[in-house]
Structure formats: C-alpha cells, structure tokens
Structure 1
Amino acid sequence: MSRFVISGPGGGAENRLEIRTFIKDEKFFSLYIQALQLMYTKESQAALQSFFQVGGIHGLPYIPWDGVTGIPNPQWGGYCTHGSVLFPTWHRPYVSAFEQILWTRAQEVAATYTKDQAAWKAAAFKLRQPYWDWAVNSIPPDEVIALKTVDITGPDGHKKSVPNPLYHYTFHPIDPSFPPPYSGWQTTFRQPTNTSPPTDNIARLKAILANAQSNIRSNTYNLLTRVSTWPAFSNHTVGDGGSSSNSLEAIHDGIHVYVGGNGQMGDPAVAGFDPIFFLHHTNVDRLLSLWSALHPGVWVTPGPSQSGTLTIPANTTVDTNTHLTPFYHTQTAFWASAGVTDTTKLAYRYPEFEGLDTSNPAAVQKAIAAAVNKLYGSAVFGVTAQSPAVQEPVAAAQQPIAAAADDNHPAIHHAGHGYPRDWTARVEFKKFEIGHSFSILLFLGSVPEKPEEYYTSPHFIGAHHAFVNSSPSHCQNCQNQKELVEEGFVHLSRGILKYGKLESLDAAVVEPYLTKDLHWRAVKADGYTPAEIPSLEVSIYSTPLSYTRGSSFPIAGSTHRHNGVTHGRRGGSREGLHGQH
C-alpha cells in the first residue's frame, strides 16, 4: 500500500509566523480558515488525512494511522512519546504532517478564487502553520479563543463572515472510543463550565492565562538559557543531571492544562482534537529550534521509553535512531530524530532564523541569543535596571538581560555577595497517582479559600502540572507505571521581589520569608476540585547567577538546596536540615 510520506509543504523553506502576525495577513488568514475547515469536512473522520485522524495520532481512538500497527498490549495509548527523550523530536514530523495536509487544502482553496487568483495561489504556496508564542503573550487572539465567526476575503474578493474552525472542532460523529465526559460533548471545549452541556468559560481562560504569564515567560527563558543537557531539556521525567529549570515538556504540559482545564486540551487522550493544539505544538517545535541553536551539537541522547507507545515497548531504551512512528520519511522508512535536526528539510523555518547563515553555528548562536534576550529577557528577575540587585552586576558586564522589566520593586542589595541568587521550587510527584491530570499551584502570601480562585489569585506565582491520559483502558495500563516520578520547577525570584519587599536575595533573608509565606495546593485539571497527592514533595533551591562580560546569558553557579524551608509541612521536603547542601 502507498504510504503518506511526510516531506513538508511544496517549495522551499518558508517562515512559520506567530499567530498575531499571521492574522494580519489577509490572504494567509483567509486561506488558513478555509483550508482548516476543509480538513474538518471534505472527507469523513475515517479518512487518513482528515483532521480527526491526524488529531487521533496523539491518543484516542488508539487505532493504527497509515497502517502502522502497534506492539501487543502496549502500555500507552497512541503514538506520542510523553516522558521520553523523544518528546521534542517526535512532535516535529507530527506537526509537519498536519502542516503538509493543511497546505494541500490551501492550494485547493486558492484555486477557487476568481479575483486576483495568481496572488492567492502565491500566498497559498507560502502558507505555513502559525505558532502561538505563549511566552510573549499568554492570551491568544480572539480569533483563536473567543470568536465563533471570523471575517475573511472570499473567492469572489468580497469580505464575508464564516464559522471559525479555530474556536471548536465538531465531531461527526462522536467516536465510540471516547470516555465520559467527552462521549457526551459534540465539540471540543476549553476551560468548560460545570454545566450540562458545558460552554467555554472564555473569561476564566483569559484570566488564568494572564495570571500565568510571568511564570510562563520565566520558565521559557530559563529553559533556553540555563538547561544544557538533552535529558533536562527534553522531558519532565526525573533524572536530568541536576537542572533547576523546567524541561520543554514540563512547560508544554502547563499550557495544555491552563487552556484545557477539564476540556480536551487538558487530557492527552483527546488533546489533539482541539485546533489550538497545533498552534501550541508549533511553538514547542520553535523552542526546540531556538534551544538547539543555542546549544549546537547537543541532540537526542539515549534514554528510557518510560510508559512506551503504541509502537515502542515500555521500559526500553530509545535514541536518535529510534523510529518516530507513524511518520514515514520515504515509502519504506520512518523519520528518526537524527533526520529532523534541520527544519528546512521539512520546508519551514522560524522568523528568528531569517537571513542567518546556518553553516556558521557560532554566528547563529549569537543571533539567537540576542533574539531570546529581546523576547524573554525581562524574565530573569523582573526588576528594573535601577535596582542595585541587578544594576551593578549587569552594568559591569554590559548586559541588558534584566533591564526590560514590567514590575516596580524596591532597591535590594546582597550583603557584599555581589550577584543575585535565583530561587526555585522543585515540585516532584508520581505522575499517575490519581489517574488524570492535576496541578500543584504555588503561592506567596495568602491563599484563597475557594479552589476555583487559585489560578486567578494575585498571590499565585506558578505551578507544575501532571498531563495525564484519563482513558479508562490507559489508566488500567498505567498501573504498571504507577511509580513513575516526574518533576518540574517554579521560579520564585520575581514573586519574592514583588511580594516580600526584601532588601536582599541572600539565604539569610529569603529563607525565613519563604518558610512563612510560601504555600502550595493541589487541584484536579478542572481547577475547582482539590486533589490529594501523597507522593508530592516541594523543595527549595537557590542558584547564584553572575553576569560575565561578553556572556549572552546569566552564568549559573552551584545550586544549593534549602530543606528547612518546607521540611515538616505536608508535601514538603523529606530531608531535614541535615540534608542541606
């Protein structure tokens, strides 16, 4: 049988654009909306290139895609490599498969234009899947999350209002494999209300994303600038060599839960059916490109398969040559991580790489470092350049890294130590402890009495999320992985400066403050229901950051664990004061 070979859209490498920029291009947006609608409706859900089948690669309905059959009794539903060193690279051909089908549909749409058809065909040829940069702006435009109809230019050249395919995907029909509540939902939902039938709670969605913005940006900046090994970068499973910053997968998990709540995006079994999934994962892929440029030569290292997939057995070793199933590179061979280092092979790139000479890794590294600092550099401490805590070392090193602040803070000093310390909470738990997604939320100061107010509390400073498949059959299989532990980090320095109004970030000042004012709560994915997580351990770390002249980013020193801050509290450090190092 003939296979669907993933080679990317036609033509050379074109830029994938940020969704806000993309929407401003009349032709791109008009073509995209119609092409996505064609993916929904041109063929039945059983067709290989239908939106439903492509979304289903990620999880339910747990059937072979493109004839790629699974292993007997797999431990994981779907093909997705969660918790594994293959997490970033597996999603690269996945997004490309979606983009390639979308591009094909856009060519069909362009051919229907009767006015200025040549220009529309040219635009369709350059069309690529846009990305949503949630680290710059955590709230997507209304065209993605709020508008049920959007205005486009139709084939006759006139403006018209059409149903917005980015708002929901409508199942036709609901697949019998879906468990409750999805078995009763005709469409996808984001942060759904607790009504029957539910509706999207758009106001709550925007409020949650806005309140998480600072933490998302901080996580992203620290991922790109302080994580240097592939295991620490690629996935949320414990065992990354001592990093105190989040992995790409951990940050990705949070976006899923923030957007979905108790809806499809909050559950990997059905997340692929929400059209925002591909905007999200295109940005995840972009961060892979940025991180790779900043760490030339670092790529997939061997690691455990963890829960496994439909085609990869659990508890085996995977590496850069492991097949990224079900994605064919040729009619007889699958893509592997070793083959996806260069995005131009899949006919796309990102704007940050425009005009760069990719044959000169040092020049690319320097240019991408400048772009990362410009986009996310205010996330280091979130203090103004006038604050001595940052002003003196940064000025000495001629670094602009923390100058682009968005908060006002009192001046602080360091008791002669010279450089500020970055404070981080490490959150660790057994991923499958309660059988579905949940979150550990951290606060500095008072905690709301009502769980539904946690995410929007002004004292909320960040969270770590378990992104867990809730399919009943999968939950049964996960009993074999019930001891699997994952970790994430919440950066505290911005919150300490904002709420503590301390005169120093030294341990003698910060430890008593955190001991008194740092709190945490566990909630299920709906954001309303408290959860009990017996395996939870929250521990505190600090890392001195220096600003060496000529360095693009802060230089991290040796990390110190402060067990006394959380020891003795429920879910706190299990090591006492004697365990500090």
Structure 2
Amino acid sequence: MPKTYPIIGAALPVRPELSGWSISHDQEHQRQVSLFLHALDKMQKKDPLEDQLSYFRISGTPYMQCLYNIMINELLPKIKDVTQRASWREAADRWRLPFWDWALPQEDTQKLGLPNILSQDKFDILELGGSTKFSITNPMFKYTHRMHIDGKLTPVPMGDERMGDLKVTYTVTDKVDKETELNVSISTRFGKTQGTSRYANPLTQEWVDGNQRLDLVNNALQNPNWRWMDSDELTSGSLASNVHRLLSDNYFKSYKPFSSTCCPPGEDHNPNDHLSLEMIHNNIHVRPPRQFVGGGGKDEKGVPTNGSMSNVPVSSFDPVFWMHHNNIDRIFAIWQFLNPEAWLTPDDNCKPTEELQPFHMDEKGTVFTANDVRRWEKFGYTYPELVTGMTKEKLQQLINDKYARPSVQELMESRDGKGITDTHFQDYVINVQYDRYALQGQPYTIFFVLQVDEDHVYYVGQISTFSAQLSGDCGNCESQKKHGVLSKGQVPLTPQLVRLVRKYSTFLKDASGITGVNVGLNPEFMNVFLQKTLYWHVLTVRRSINLFYEVYVPVLITLIEFWERGSTIRGSELGGVNTYREGCVR
C-alpha cells in the first residue's frame, strides 16, 4: 500500500501586538508596518463622496481587507524590482491588523498608555521596496476628513453641507431631562470638526483641526485620579486585574453574562457575572474624569475636554478604535478557547441564528449570523496566545503570568498580619446594577472613591455606560428602556485596598476610628472601613450629578486561592453584601 501524506494547512497568520510589532527589527514586520501606514494614509485621503470604500464611509466596520487591497493594487506595483516586490508581497499576505493591549506596559515606552505609533505625529518607515527609512505624517495619530475642492484634496468639517446625507450631525446639547430634572449634557458639535481629537478643548480652533493631548491620555491610563484627589497610583494594574478575572477558570458559567452588561429584570444573577467583556470595552472608551482615550470632563486647569473615542456616533473615526476593538476580539477568542462549549442559546434574546445586519457574506446579500462568526480562525487570523500547540493548561498559566503575577507578588509582600496567608487572601469587589437609559441614553459614569477624611480621597474604580442619546433609530434601546432592562458592572477593590493598607496602615486606623482589629484585608476591619469610607458619584461628560437614584451598589467578598506561580479566581459565590450610599466628595 503506497504511503499516504496528510494535507495540513499552513499556520494562520497572527495578529501582532501593536507596540512590539511597530518597533520590531524583523524585516517582514518592518515591511508590514510600512505597507500598513502607507495604505491607511491612502484610505484616509479618499474622498467620501467619490469612494464608498473611503475611511470616512466604512469607519466602524472591519476594514482590514480594504487596506490589503490598497497594498496589493496601489502600493506593490510601485516596487520595480521583481524580487523585492515578491518579498513585500509575502509580507502583505501575512499581514494582519494588530491589537493594542492596553492592560500591560507598552513594549516601546515601558509604560501603560498609547504606544508611539498611536501618539507620534511623525513615524519612520521603510521606503517601498527598499531598506532606507524615512519619516511620514502618521495616519494613526489622527484622522483628517478631506474632500476634493477645485481639484484639490482639502480638509473640511465632517458636517459640511456638501456631504449631503453623509454629513456628521452629532451634537451633545445642553438639555434638562424632564423625568429626572437633571442637567445632563454639554454643547459640543462634532460636525464642526475636520480632525479627530483626544482631550481637546471643544471651544477652540484646535478642536476643529484635531488636537491630541497625549499627556492626559497616558496619565488617564496610568493614574486616573481626579485633580482634587490624592495622586497615589492606587489604580495601576486594575486593567490587568479585570482581564485576569475575565479569563480566570470558571469565573463565568455561561457565555451571556461574560459577553454583555445586560441585566434583565426577574433573572437570577450570579455575583461573579457582574463583570463582562462589554464593561471592560466601555471603560477604555470612557473613564472619569479623563475618558481613557477620547477625553471628557475638565483638565487640571478646569478647561473642558472631549474627543471622538468618548462618543459612540463618532468614536470609530479615531484610528485607535480598531486597535482597541482587536484587543477585545483577542480577549474574546482566548475565552472561547478556554470555554469551547459556551455560546448563545435559542432561549437568549439574541439568538445564535439571528442575522447580523448589515454584514453580508456574499454578493447575493446573504447576511452573517452569530453562528457564522463564532470562530475567528475562519476569517484567516489568530492571536499570539492561540498558535498551534497551545493547550488550556498552558494558556491559563500564560494568562496568570501576564495579568495576575504583578498583583499576586504585591499581595505576597503584604502578608504581615494583613489578612493574607501563604495560600489565600480576601477579595473585595463592587457589583453595580444601573439604568443606562436613566438620562435618556446620555452617557454617564459611576465612579467610586474611598474618602478617609476631607483631605484624603482615593479613586478606586468606575463603571461607564458608553451609551448614546435615544434618537428613535435603535429599536433595541427603546425596547430595553420600556421593559426596564438594567445593566451590570464590577469593580475590583482588592489591588487598591492592598496598596492603601501597605502605605497608610497607621493613618487608616486613626482616621477611620476603628479599634480592636488589625488594619488589613481581614473582613473585621474592611467591613467597617468600607461602610465608613466608600462613596459613589455620577458624572456626565461635563459635570457631576447629585441625587441620582438609578444605581444599586453592593460590595461583596470571597476567599481567593493563589499559588506561587500565579493565582486563580475560582467560581465561588461572592457574599457579604452591603449597600453603599451616593455622596459628593468635593
């Protein structure tokens, strides 16, 4: 019998981590970076009235294929050397849209925040077909909206009347909600802008042109404290902590609570289930008082700030949008690998066979369903953590090493009588249920602080709605509001409490007035301490809101097991519910 040979497909190309890929010395990576930035620049400069595949027309939809087509049809033909053209074609064929892992320090800066490829207005890339680098205007820095006027490509406002039905009309206007009598908004006209901004003052010409206040963006990711709060970096590592929890073994028992903030009335909700991928996604778009990437609130001098990423209707114009969403897709793919049987069920409101308008899989107009897009590999890519040979055990350890080890090491250093043993520690989380339509869909954020006394206020976390004003074109939104569907969220407290206890043990005991117990994570101290010091407050894009009653806030506690190599958060029931009050902490 002749020998047979199995037919094995080539390994799937990997979506690279953005910061490392952009500074890589690997020749193929350098060629890919050059092709990518050239293609994105060309795409952004296509007139939206003349080209349906312009950046403006398809922002918010996956445009990887459009960029690839530009590489193949417009860039590679410029390379005259046949051998070089073939090598660059191989690089293009293996290129995949990268992801931005905002939970970890960036490889090029060694800090949390934006990598240089998202924060520098100029970026060095290879000449097409060559090995010499030159500097280009970086299309990842911002998007500028252009049209052909008198034969010349000219920056114009996105709400220019010549755009017709395509013009941007999104405006957040001052208004009082009749039901709550709350002033909930800010006068910001995005149609006036011709460039995307991060933390720009919407009252200036810089806002029109597109302004990037990168110090505020990076500071919001590294240390998101209010200007009137203590500047201690109590929140660093909270992003990694959320990712670790989301991917921990058995934290979720089913797909629905993992994926969504939706909290339908009348259903039983496991306390662990208050965390979700959607919640983490929202918080990167919007975080008080400095929305992570877009901007919002006021800066240290009281100057108002705003930006594209903080506002749903225009967020996808910022080039960082897809780098963020690819990371969300990556986290989802990792969770699917760890939980291969978990998926939508026929009983869910969104069924696995439901059509995902307006996305078509062929020229006949066949619409994708949820089942059609369940597996990421069928779209021709994978992620570094999911390459051939990966097992669930290896992947879980990799997640622990990446996202849990720093927190666990800090906990291990705090074992001296503070409620932490060699194998266990008390874990505290805030679980929140809220009405995202309480302000008629206007986005707002619930933030949490520990107010030890008038002079010591520590920011510990937030929940952001990342919603848009109800306008009648979202049937699902109107239905959820009508039926009283709430949303849910979770804020881990343990990393912040550990840092606070380590640094201010004696002060906390004196200021809190708690006697007879050791200061630490032990429930005897923390139950009283949190009752005395934990406050929550609501903030819209521009201002604070008092007397807001649409939020239920319990704090829960459970015992967590960890090992020397990492930690694991079991799916054990959280308990010890206490409710907390709203309070203004100015």
TM class by smaller structure:
0.7 to 0.9
Name which of 88, 91, 99 aligns with 1:131: 99
Quick check: 2:412–2:422 contact (8 Å CA) kept in 1? no
User: For the Cα contact (< 8 Å) 2:294–2:307, is it kept in 1?
Assistant: yes
Alignment of 1:275 onto 2:287: no
| Structure 2 residue runs without a partner (length 5+) | 1-8, 24-28, 106-111, 147-155, 160-166, 172-188, 225-235, 287-291, 296-305, 506-517
Paired residues of 2:414 and 2:498 also in contact (CA < 8 A) = no
Partner residue in 2 for 1:248: 277
Letter of the 1:260 counterpart: G
Change (3 A) 1:26 1:350: same
Moved more, 260-269 or 275-284: 260-269
Structure 1 residues 243 and 27: alpha-carbon distance in aligned structure 2, compared to 1, 3 A threshold:
farther
| Structure with the larger RCO, 1 or 2 (CA within 8 Å, 6+ apart) | 1
- Structure 1 residue matching 2:544: 3-state secondary structure: coil
- For each residue in 1:199-226, what CA deviation from the matched residue of structure 2 results, as whole angstroms up to 9, or x when unmatched? 3322111110112542211111111112
Give me the whole-angstrom Cα distance separating, in 1, the residues matched to 2:500 and 2:418.
13
Q: Distance in 2 between matches of 1:141 and 1:331?
A: 38
Structure 1 equivalent of residue 257 of structure 2: 232
How far did 1:488 drift?
0.8
Partner of 1:530: 544
| Cα distance change, pair 376–512 in 1 and its aligned pair in 2 (3 A) | same
- Partner residue of 2:444 out of 405, 430, 438: 438
TM-score normalised by L of structure 2? 0.73
Partner of 1:204: 216
C-alpha deviation, 1:46, in angstroms? 5.7
> 1:347 deviation in Å?
0.7
- 1:510 deviation in Å? 0.8
**Number of aligned residue pairs:** 471
Secondary structure of the residue aligned to 1:459 is strand
Q: Counterparts in 2 of 1:371-390, with a 5 A limit?
A: 371-378=398-405, 383-388=410-415
User: 2:20 is aligned with what amino acid?
Assistant: T
Q: Which runs of 5+ in 1 are unaligned?
A: 1-9, 59-93, 305-316, 357-362, 389-409, 450-456, 572-581
Secondary structure in structure 2 of the residue aligned to 1:521: strand
What is the Cα deviation at residue 520 of structure 1? 2.4
Distance 1:238 1:470 in 2: 20
The alpha-carbon deviation at position 355 of structure 1 amounts to 2.7
Shift, 1:547, TM fit: 4.4
Question: What secondary structure, in the 3-state scheme, does the structure 1 residue paired with 2:44 have?
Answer: helix
CA–CA separation in structure 2 for the residues paired with 1:570 and 1:155 = 58
- Select the structure of larger CA radius of gyration: 2
Contact 1:260–1:266 (Cα < 8 Å) also in 2: yes
Alignment correspondent of 1:151: 124
Q: Structure 1 residues 270 and 473, CA, compared in 2 at 3 Å: closer, same or farther? A: farther
1:113 aligns with 2:79: yes
For 2:537 and 2:414, the matched residues in 1 are separated by 32
**Distance of aligned partners of 1:446 and 1:196 in 2 relative to their CA distance in 1, 3 Å threshold:** farther
Q: Residue 245 of structure 2 corresponds to which residue in structure 1?
A: 222
Give the Cα separation in 1 of the matches to 2:140 and 2:333. 25
Q: Deviation per CA, 1:82-105, whole angstroms, max 9, x where unpaired?
A: xxxxxxxxxxxx53xx11212222
Q: Does 1:321 align with 2:353?
A: yes
Tell me how far apart the structure 1 counterparts of residues 30 and 87 of structure 2 sit (CA, whole Å): 12
Structure-1 separation of matches of 2:479 and 2:354: 23
* 1:290 is aligned to 2:334: yes
Q: In 2, Cα distance between the equivalents of 1:524 and 1:178?
A: 20
What percentage of aligned pairs have identical amino acids?
24
Give the match's secondary structure for 2:97.
coil
Report if aligned partners of 2:34, 2:128 keep a CA contact under 8 Å in 1.
Answer: no
In 2, distance between residues paired with 1:549 and 1:168? 44
Q: TM-score, normalised by structure 1?
A: 0.74
- 1:100 equivalent to 2:129? Answer no
- Alpha-carbon distance in structure 2 between the residues aligned to 1:302 and 1:253: 27
1:430 alignment partner AA: D
Deviations 1:500-541 (A, max 9, x none): 34644232221111122222232223xx52134331222211
Cα distance in 2 for residues equivalent to 1:448 and 1:279: 40
Structure 1, 496-505 or 245-254: larger mean CA deviation? 496-505
Name the residue aligned to 2:559. 544
Q: CA deviation at 1:560?
A: 0.8
CA–CA distance in 1 between the matches of 2:453 and 2:539?
13
Task: Report the counterpart of residue 196 of structure 2 in structure 1.
Answer: 188
Rounded to whole Å, the distance in 2 between the matches of 1:288 and 1:507 is 34
Q: What SS is found at the alignment partner of 1:192?
A: coil
For residues 336 and 227 of structure 1, the distance between their equivalents in structure 2, rounded to whole angstroms, comes to: 24
